[in-house]
Amino acid sequence: MSTINSDLVFIKTANTPNGHVEVHIASAASNYQTRTLETATTFVNETDGTWQLLSNRDLAFIKTANTPNGHVEVHIASAASNYQTRTLETATTFAIETDGTWQMLGNNDLAFIKTANTPNGHVEVHIASAASKYQTRILETATTFVNETDGTWQLLSNRDLAFIKTANTPNGHVEVHIASAASNYQTRTLETATTFAIETDGTWQMLGNNDLAFIKTANTPNGHVEVHIASAASKYQTRILETATTFVNETDGTWQMLG
C-alpha cells in the first residue's frame, strides 16, 4: 500500500465571517483529523475564477471574469506571510474565457485546457510562462481528445494531459484517459475504467504520483467530507485510502489535495 502524503486543502471563497477568503488544511499524517492551518487571507470573497494552492503553498487566484482590461489575471498571496501579502498581481496574455479549465502548473506556468468551441473540435492546451509574467505562450496545441465536458481535465506533474471522465461512461464507472506531453498530446498512454462508480458529489483529482483521488463533499454517511484514493499502480482498481475527515460537508469553495 502506498504512503499517502497529500494534505487536504479547503479554500473557502464564500460565506466567511469577515468576508475574506480562508485557507484550511488538514494533514495527511493525521488521516485528515488534525487541521494544521486555518486562516483568513488578503483576498475578499470572490468566485470569478479559479483558486488553487500552489506546490509551495502560496495561494493563487486566476481571475477569469470581470477584469478591467478583459484579460485573465493572476494574483498570488504568499504562504510565508500567512496569505496577507500579495507577491504577484498581473494581467496575462489570455483574453477572458470560460470554455475550459485553468490551472497553475508546478513551476507556476499558467495553463488553459480549452474543452469547448475549439476550431477543429478537439481539446486544446495553451500554456503561458511564469518567467514572462504570463505574457508569452510557450505551448498552443490541439490534442487527441475531442471536446468533452463530462469530467475533469488536468495537466499532470510531467505535463501529460489527463481526463477523468465522470459521467456517461459505458460501464457506469469513472474512467481515466491520459495523453502524453512527449507526443504533443497526440498519443494516449492510458485509457481505463476505475474502481469508482460514477459520482459527482465532490472533486476528482490526479495526485502527484498519478493516484486518483475523490474528495466527497456532499451526501456522506456522517456528514463529513471524505477522501477516497485509488492507486495508479493498480490501474485504479485498488483503493488505498477511504476515510472521513475533520471537515463537515461544504461546497462554498475549492477542495484540493496537496502533496
At 63-83, the pLDDT tens digits run 999 999 999 999 999 999 999
CA distance 15 to 155: 30
Q: Is the pLDDT of residue 122 over 50?
A: yes
Mean residue pLDDT of the chain comes to 97
Q: Is the pLDDT of residue 3 over 90?
A: no
For 117, the grid coordinates are 468551441
| pLDDT, tens only, 179-226 | 999 999 999 999 999 999 999 999 999 999 999 999 999 999 999 999
H/E stretch holding 126 reads strand 122-128
HSE, side-chain direction, 13 A CA sphere, residue 164: 26
Binned at pLDDT 50, 70 and 90, residue 1 comes out as very low
Supply angle C-alpha 243, 247, 253, rounded to 5: 115
pLDDT value at position 5? 83
The architecture CATH gives domain 7-258:
6 Propeller (2.120)
CA distance 10 to 1: 26
pTM of the shown model: 0.96
Q: Name which of 224, 239, 113, 132 is nearest 179 in CA terms.
A: 113
HSE, side-chain direction, 13 A CA sphere, residue 244: 10
